[in-house]
């Protein structure tokens, strides 16, 4: 077995041609895909992955299916510990990195260990945001990010009488779907007058609201949380919204966003902006430190500006690209159109790119369960949402990837059977 001394080389080793030492903080998909790429492309390097979780990489996307009761635990795991052993990647589970010494090129862990690195990857993702209200940490109130969270949610929801969900975004709807699948009726409190109001218009959102209602979850608009009430044991009993409306339930699920795990960076000179700022090579402003995954504010070459993206595919690709640049500086740029799909209802749902930004948008409803919206910036597609029929997604993504000007083709873009050739044909006329 390789031992932890493998990672204790001094940073000077690179100057004398010795083994390079790569340390990765976080074993989510970003950190893990970086480790895999490092091993493939730098076979002799020392690679260490440190995670504060007690289990190696698992499929975060699938933990909702586990919580719904539709999947057992086993298929959710992606890597067991032997995966790392087989590749001579040192995996440190249950290990919290508590400090980075950027000048000394070392990281320290909660158990007093110090590891030296030549190149460091920060892939620490985020932690669900807590509501800053009374009793927000009461028993029975759940946040949703880790497999452990999913286990607690499943255990509770299976015996819950009723539920309240807070947070009108992609994770909030997962919580609503979990209640529906477990046949627990609930209220879904939203601040505005529709679900994911920055990406969908009212017509699109109505399709989602109807689907929630069909599952026994009632959307409640212009609502939110003022405070929670608890019983004598400290268990949540009631959610009181800012209008004074009371929603009794013994289960509460909250998904109001992520706080990026940036505490480690506070002691070092590194550019942050509600995320770690990286260039297209995933390199931060600090020497030999890279970042990948949800917590980056990356330079999106398609958009022409810095952006953020919380999706599995994007985090995976960022990890891969970071690793390549850790081996050979500025060797590969990140260029990616992300996708995020929801499979809870009788119709498919997909968002891609950056559906909440842009300076223009077009949308159309095709049937009771079919609708589309595209976000445009400077006449180019930068994101969109498709409900019902996902076939046109490849054409839209192609146009986005190729940065094609479509500002004069709005009607064509909304053709029911749209494909990218429709644009080429229209432009030839």
Ligand X SMILES: Cc1cc2nc3c(=O)[nH]c(=O)nc-3n(C[C@H](O)[C@H](O)[C@H](O)COP(=O)(O)OP(=O)(O)OC[C@H]3O[C@@H](n4cnc5c(N)ncnc54)[C@H](O)[C@@H]3O)c2cc1C
Give me the least distance between CB of 362 and ligand X, in Å please. Answer: 24
Give me the least distance between CB of 385 and ligand X, in Å please. Answer: 14
51 binds ligand X (CB under 6 A): yes
Note the helical H segments in 158-304.
170-181, 202-214
Q: Where are the beta strands (DSSP E) in 117-178?
A: 119-122, 126-128, 141-143, 163-166
Give me the least distance between CB of 44 and ligand X, in Å please. Answer: 25
96 binds ligand X (CB under 6 A): yes
317 binds ligand X (CB under 6 A): no
Give me the least distance between CB of 216 and ligand X, in Å please. Answer: 20
Query: Of the listed pieces 23-31, 208-216, 392-400, 407-415, which binds ligand X according to CB under 6 A?
Result: 23-31
Among candidates 125, 124, 116, 123, which has minimal Cα distance to 22? Answer: 116
Give me the least distance between CB of 127 and ligand X, in Å please. Answer: 8
Q: Look up residue 306 and give its two tokens.
A: 């810095």
Inter-axis angle of helices 393-401 and 420-428, nearest 10: 60
Distance CA 194, CA 200 (A): 8
Across the beta sheet with 97-101, the strand order is 97-101, 106-109, 114-116
Query: Of the listed pieces 6-14, 25-33, 39-47, 418-426, which binds ligand X according to CB under 6 A?
Result: 25-33
Q: How many residues form the binding site for ligand X (CB under 6 A)?
A: 34
115 binds ligand X (CB under 6 A): no
Residue with smaller CB distance to ligand X, 36 or 174: 174
Residue with smaller CB distance to ligand X, 252 or 413: 252
71 binds ligand X (CB under 6 A): no
Distance CA 230, CA 233 (A): 8
User: What residues have CB less than 8 Å from 403, skipping those under 6 apart?
Assistant: 302, 380
Choose which of 186, 253, 293, 384 interacts with ligand X (CB under 6 A): 293
How distant, in Å, are the alpha carbons of 38, 135, 165, 226, 249 from that of 245? 54, 17, 14, 10, 13
Query: Of the listed pieces 41-49, 223-231, 306-314, 358-366, which binds ligand X according to CB under 6 A?
Result: 306-314
Among candidates 353, 350, 400, which has minimal Cα distance to 378? Answer: 400
Give me the least distance between CB of 68 and ligand X, in Å please. Answer: 11
Per-residue interface string for the shown chain with ligand X, residues 126-165, x marking contact by CB under 6 A: ------------------xx--------------------
Distance CA 366, CA 387 (A): 10
53 binds ligand X (CB under 6 A): yes
Per-residue interface string for the shown chain with ligand X, residues 233-272, x marking contact by CB under 6 A: ----------------------------x--x--------
Per-residue interface string for the shown chain with ligand X, residues 162-201, x marking contact by CB under 6 A: ---------x--x---------------------------
Dihedral sign (CA 67, 170, 26, 316):
positive
Give backbone dihedrals phi and psi of 267, rounded to 5 degrees, phi first.
-90, 0
Distance CA 209, CA 212 (A): 5
Choose which of 100, 123, 225, 375 interacts with ligand X (CB under 6 A): 123
């Amino acid at each position: 077995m390789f031992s932890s001394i493998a990672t204790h080389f001094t940073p000077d080793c690179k100057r004398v041609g010795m083994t390079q030492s790569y340390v990765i903080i976080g074993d989510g998909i970003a950190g893990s895909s970086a480790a895999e790429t490092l091993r493939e492309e730098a076979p002799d390097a020392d690679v260490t992955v440190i995670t504060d979780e007690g289990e190696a990489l698992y499929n975060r996307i699938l933990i909702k299916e586990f919580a719904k009761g539709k999947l057992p635990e086993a298929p959710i795991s992606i890597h067991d510990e032997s995966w790392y052993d087989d590749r001579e990647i040192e995996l440190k589970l249950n290990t919290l990195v508590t400090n980075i010494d950027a000048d000394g090129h070392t990281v320290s862990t909660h158990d007093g260990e110090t590891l030296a690195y030549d190149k460091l990857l920060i892939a620490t993702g985020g932690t669900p945001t807590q509501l800053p209200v009374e009793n927000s940490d009461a028993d029975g109130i759940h946040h949703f990010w880790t497999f452990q969270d999913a286990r607690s949610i499943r255990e509770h929801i299976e015996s819950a009488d009723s539920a309240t969900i807070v947070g009108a975004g992609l994770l909030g709807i997962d919580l609503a779907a979990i209640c529906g699948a477990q046949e627990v009726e609930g209220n879904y409190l939203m601040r505005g007058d529709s679900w994911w109001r920055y990406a969908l218009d009212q017509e699109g959102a109505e399709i989602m609201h109807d689907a929630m209602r069909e599952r026994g979850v009632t959307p409640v608009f212009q609502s939110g949380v003022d405070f929670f009430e608890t019983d004598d044991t400290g268990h949540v009993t009631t959610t009181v919204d800012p209008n004074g409306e009371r929603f009794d339930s013994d289960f509460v699920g909250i998904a109001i966003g992520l706080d990026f795990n940036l505490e480690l960076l506070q002691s070092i000179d590194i550019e942050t902006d509600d995320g770690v700022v990286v260039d297209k090579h995933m390199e931060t402003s600090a020497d030999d430190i890279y970042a990948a995954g949800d917590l980056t504010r990356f330079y999106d070459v398609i958009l022409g500006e810095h952006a953020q993206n919380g999706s599995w595919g994007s985090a995976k690709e960022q990890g891969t690209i970071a690793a390549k640049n850790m081996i050979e500086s500025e060797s590969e740029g990140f260029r990616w159109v992300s996708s995020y799909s929801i499979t809870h209802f009788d119709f498919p749902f997909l968002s891609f790119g950056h559906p909440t930004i842009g300076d223009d948008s077009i949308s159309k409803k095709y049937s009771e369960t079919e609708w589309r919206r595209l976000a445009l910036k400077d006449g180019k597609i930068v994101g969109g949402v498709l409900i019902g029929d996902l076939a046109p997604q490849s054409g839209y993504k192609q146009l986005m990837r190729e940065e094609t000007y479509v500002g004069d083709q709005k009607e064509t873009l909304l053709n029911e059977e749209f494909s990218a050739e429709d644009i080429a044909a229209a432009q030839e006329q």
